[in-house]
Amino acid sequence: MIDTIVNCIEMKLQDSEGSGLPLNVMIKATASGIDISFNGYSTATENNPGTPIFIENRNGVPHVLLWDDINKEDPSHVISLEGASIHLRVEPD
């Protein structure tokens, strides 16, 4: 199955530390997930720009996959957002 791009955004992310060095970012939404790529960054199996951040649906729960080492094929972090569900919010008394 070919994963069709539903939406693609290219932008410059401004520097929050004030150095003035913007970062080129591409965000692609497909049926299988959301790719976040940065010019000059990649993964072990992709060219520049690769996708060091990927968000996918696992049984109705968003998961964020992160690659912080370009020399390792598997993600360094897989973060479930299950704990961020609005259904878990405890309202103050």
- C-alpha 30/C-alpha 56 separation (Å) is 10
Q: Are 54 and 45 in contact (CB under 8 A)?
A: no
What are the tens digits of pLDDT across the range 2-34? 678 788 999 999 988 888 889 999 999 999 999
User: What are the distances in angstroms from CA 58 to CA 19, 33, 45, 63, 83?
Assistant: 38, 10, 22, 7, 14
Question: If pLDDT is split at 50, 70 and 90, which confidence band does 41 have?
Answer: very high
Q: What is the pLDDT of residues 48-81, one digit of tens each?
A: 888 999 999 999 999 999 999 999 999 999 999 9
Task: Work out whether the CA dihedral 79, 7, 31, 86 comes out positive or negative.
Answer: positive
**pTM for the whole structure:** 0.85
R_g (Cα) of the chain, nearest Å: 16
Residue 1: pLDDT band (50, 70, 90) is low
60 backbone φψ class: left, alpha, beta (φ>0; ψ -120 to 50): left
